Amino acid sequence: MKRRKTINDFFNITPIVFLFAAVVVVFSLGYSAFSSSFAIDGGAYVRPISDVRITNIALNSSTNGGTLNDDLEFSTHSFYLNGTVPAALYSYGSLIADITITNLSSTGVYVTSFESDSFSNDFMHYELRNLTVNETYIPAASEHTFQVVISYNRELITNILGLLGDIASYLTSNNLTNITSQFTVGWSYVPNHNLTIISSESDALIVIEQNGNVIASGTGNYSGSVEENATITWKVTKTGYVPQSGTVVMDSDKTINVTMQLADVYNLTINPTPSDAIVIIKEGDNILKNAQGQQTVQVFNGHTISYIVKKAEYETKYGTFTINSDNASIDVTLNTATPFEGTFSNTDSLTPVIVSQEIYKTGYYLVELWGGNGGRGNLNLTTGLAGTGGYVYGIVHLNYEDNIYITVGGNGASAGSNLVVTDASQPGGANGGGLSSGGGTGGGGYSAFGVNISSMSLADLNDNKILLIAGGAGGGGVRAVTAIAGNGGNGGNITSSTTTSYDNGTIYNGEDGTTTIYCTNFPALGGSNIGGTNSGVPTGSGSLFTGGPAIYLGGGGGAGFYGGAGGGSQKATIINLYAGSGGGGGSSYVNQNVINASAYSSNLVGTNPSTTGGSAIVKYIGNTLN
């Protein structure tokens, strides 16, 4: 086993990586350092070609009663199986062993033979799964697991022992339930051929791919060993030169000479209107220009650039352009920015509505949010009522190029008809509504408004990036026959809920779900600055942005800043009936940077415009506040 030397001007390659025995070992595909820039990491090893071996035997999980003994043995090519298939399972029992072959060499192998050297029990036979002689291929630096399945030869047993009556007793008393066997696996290596690529530019980048995967890359010329009949794609590139590429089938040694040609260069000009707009021109991730006014760059023929033209109070424009054998000039006219406004409602209770929008018009915006409602208990009855989603509002100041993030939750699923109780689980509304485990209802999901985020997290909330959250409501309980179920708690409401102080804002607590005389000991508390809890359902607590799950006939907790608890169910002591308690509502939240909108109450809608889920309404107030 030889250790390759480190080349000081090492260029990163893409090796094949294999995890074995808790150690990461890096393998080369077998190319040599024909040029100093093609090199193998100094910590890498190239395994000897003989390093292919059986490495493990394990009892498969689907053995149907068969067992393996503890004294299993295996060597490089051979393995022994000692086990038992209980006689009582002769009609369908089997012993299934997983055999793992590990190929630690730097070339692939084919399994060319599988032989049974000894098999002690004529009343059983074996079959192979996931292994076909002369077809099963094990790539370099990988492993392959196949199965040996040993089971009773039922046809033989029926023909010979069918008249003896108790076949199981016969097999047991004659020690015919045990199996001792030895097998040998053979393999052969796939022949390799040498691939050499010589570039006219010694510092050109060469990339070698097989089956869409990069197997080597670096600057300079390349020489490497590749499996026979492998299809190899090569690419040679250098800035300022026309890219070269090709495909070769390795049926013999191959040498490819690549002559690089200088690429033509052309001018590309971006003309912005207004003339003082900022122009950003990029090629890939490389910024070529970032300045005000008209900008000109030189671009190689065939190359594609991207551009951004922007100015405060105007809508940003994006584009791409590919140079095609001529100079080019692009006129970009920006449109005056309009305020971002709209109503966004959830119409699919299980899928959140997500809006991500860059702001071009600076100013003050009025935002209203509603969380999703809880699910209803037995329909058309006055018991097990759903909670109503939370409601918050306020004015936020948005700057040019702020990116707003709106997510709108859905309603929790309702239960069955008047007196029908099923075991079907009901999902919670999108954005964390608590679900029921069977028969109950789902909790409502939360809605939220944030700036310069792409998802919800506690860190972003503490960094004042999440500005408003409207909690979802708890689901109503479900009753059996004439019992009375509890109601779901409402989500936190800016106009009526009790509040809890928070470091950078105010929390509007979710309401508790109610209980009844038929379900007295499962009160589901609403969320606040912590998740709501339920003393009768230890697993039903709410958590950050998530409502707690309910059990059986209870209602799921509403999601929110912190979710409400899920409801439970019980048999009433006064009568042999079951009923569920309602889920707790999720808490709502308003950040300290949100401006009180009481002076603009006439602009508020105040009522959720959606019946299927939460909603968000955004209105532009102006560049100043009166």
Asked if the structure places residue 440 within a domain, the reply is yes
The pLDDT mean for the chain works out to: 85
Position 2 pLDDT exceeds 50: no
288 CB-near residues (< 8 Å, 6+ apart): 281, 282, 297, 305
Beta strands in 108-264 (DSSP E): 109-119, 124-129, 137-138, 142-152, 178-189, 192-199, 205-210, 213-219, 222-227, 231-237, 244-249, 254-258
- CA torsion sign for 292, 297, 302, 303 is negative
**Do the beta carbons of residue 12 and residue 212 sit within 8 Å?**
no
pLDDT of amino acid 140: 85
Specify whether 382 is located in the same domain as 437.
yes
**Do the beta carbons of residue 122 and residue 150 sit within 8 Å?**
no
Greater model confidence, 247 or 626: 247
pLDDT of amino acid 173: 61
Position 14 pLDDT exceeds 50: no
* Tens digits of residue pLDDT in 473-490: 999 998 876 778 899 999
Position 38 pLDDT exceeds 80: no
Position 35 pLDDT exceeds 50: no
- What does DSSP say about strands 192-199 and 499-502: parallel, antiparallel, or unpaired? unpaired
pLDDT of amino acid 572: 59
- Domain carrying residue 538: 338-626
Specify whether 239 is located in the same domain as 289.
no
239 CB-near residues (< 8 Å, 6+ apart): 300
Asked if the structure places residue 11 within a domain, the reply is no
Position 157 pLDDT exceeds 70: no
Count of the separate structural domains present in the chain: 4
**Do the beta carbons of residue 551 and residue 582 sit within 8 Å?**
no
Specify whether 490 is located in the same domain as 570.
yes
- What does DSSP say about strands 615-622 and 342-345: parallel, antiparallel, or unpaired? antiparallel
* Tens digits of residue pLDDT in 431-443: 999 998 777 899 9
Asked if the structure places residue 6 within a domain, the reply is no
Asked if the structure places residue 597 within a domain, the reply is yes
pLDDT of amino acid 537: 84
Query: Which whole number is the average pLDDT over 147-164?
Result: 72
Report the C-alpha gap between 453 and 476 in whole angstroms: 34
**Do the beta carbons of residue 489 and residue 512 sit within 8 Å?**
yes
Percent of the chain with pLDDT over 90: 61
Complete edge-to-edge strand list for the sheet that includes strand 124-129: 52-59, 94-103, 142-152, 124-129
Asked if the structure places residue 117 within a domain, the reply is yes
Dihedral in degrees, nearest 10, Cα atoms 538, 556, 407, 618 = -120
* Tens digits of residue pLDDT in 587-603: 999 999 999 998 999 99
Report the C-alpha gap between 481 and 499 in whole angstroms: 38
Specify whether 382 is located in the same domain as 502.
yes
* Tens digits of residue pLDDT in 269-325: 999 999 999 999 999 999 999 999 999 999 999 899 999 999 999 999 999 999 999
pLDDT of amino acid 574: 57
Specify whether 172 is located in the same domain as 203.
no
Specify whether 291 is located in the same domain as 420.
no
442 CB-near residues (< 8 Å, 6+ apart): 374, 375, 411, 412, 413, 414, 426, 427, 428, 429, 433, 434, 435, 436, 475, 555, 556
- CA torsion sign for 60, 63, 69, 72 is negative
Position 159 pLDDT exceeds 90: no
Report the C-alpha gap between 425 and 553 in whole angstroms: 10
Asked if the structure places residue 3 within a domain, the reply is no
Position 48 pLDDT exceeds 70: no
Instruction: Pull the structure tokens for residue 227.
Output: 């499996």
Report the C-alpha gap between 92 and 89 in whole angstroms: 6
Cross-strand pairs, 167? none
Given 278, 305, 333, which residue is the final one in a domain?
Answer: 333
Specify whether 161 is located in the same domain as 235.
no
Instruction: Pull the structure tokens for residue 357.
Output: 């929008």
**Do the beta carbons of residue 372 and residue 560 sit within 8 Å?**
no
- CA torsion sign for 273, 275, 276, 282 is positive
Query: Which whole number is the average pLDDT over 523-533?
Result: 96
Instruction: Pull the structure tokens for residue 564.
Output: 């409400």
pLDDT of amino acid 89: 55
Report the C-alpha gap between 624 and 626 in whole angstroms: 7
H/E stretch holding 459:
helix 458-462
pLDDT of amino acid 34: 37
Select from 268, 265, 261 the least CA-distant residue to 243: 261
* Tens digits of residue pLDDT in 335-392: 999 999 999 999 999 999 999 999 999 999 999 999 999 999 877 677 889 999 999 9
- Which DSSP letter does residue 159 get? H
Specify whether 406 is located in the same domain as 527.
yes
Given 288, 314, 333, which residue is the final one in a domain?
Answer: 333
**Do the beta carbons of residue 179 and residue 81 sit within 8 Å?**
yes
pLDDT of amino acid 227: 87
pLDDT of amino acid 125: 84
pLDDT of amino acid 174: 60
Specify whether 116 is located in the same domain as 216.
no
Helix/strand number for the chain, H first, E second: 3, 39
Specify whether 207 is located in the same domain as 328.
no
Mapping DSSP to helix (H, G, I), strand (E, B) and coil, where does residue 446 land?
A: coil
CATH of the domain at 30: 2.60.40.10
**Do the beta carbons of residue 527 and residue 432 sit within 8 Å?**
no
Instruction: Pull the structure tokens for residue 453.
Output: 């985020």
Position 130 pLDDT exceeds 90: yes
Quickly state the pLDDT bin for 63 (edges 50, 70, 90): low
Select from 370, 381, 273 the least CA-distant residue to 612: 370
Cross-strand pairs, 187? 111
Specify whether 388 is located in the same domain as 520.
yes
Given 218, 235, 258, which residue is the final one in a domain?
Answer: 258
Asked if the structure places residue 418 within a domain, the reply is yes
Instruction: Pull the structure tokens for residue 366.
Output: 């009025």
Max avg pLDDT among 32-36, 119-123, 505-509: 505-509
Report the C-alpha gap between 486 and 478 in whole angstroms: 8
pLDDT of amino acid 110: 92
Specify whether 415 is located in the same domain as 552.
yes
Lowest mean pLDDT among 212-226, 365-379, 386-400: 212-226
**Do the beta carbons of residue 381 and residue 479 sit within 8 Å?**
yes
* Tens digits of residue pLDDT in 538-580: 889 999 999 999 988 899 999 999 999 999 887 655 556 778 8
- What does DSSP say about strands 391-398 and 265-273: parallel, antiparallel, or unpaired? unpaired
Residues making up the chain, counted from first to last? 626
φ/ψ bin of 142: left (φ > 0), alpha (ψ from -120 to 50), beta (otherwise): beta
Cross-strand pairs, 449? 406, 468
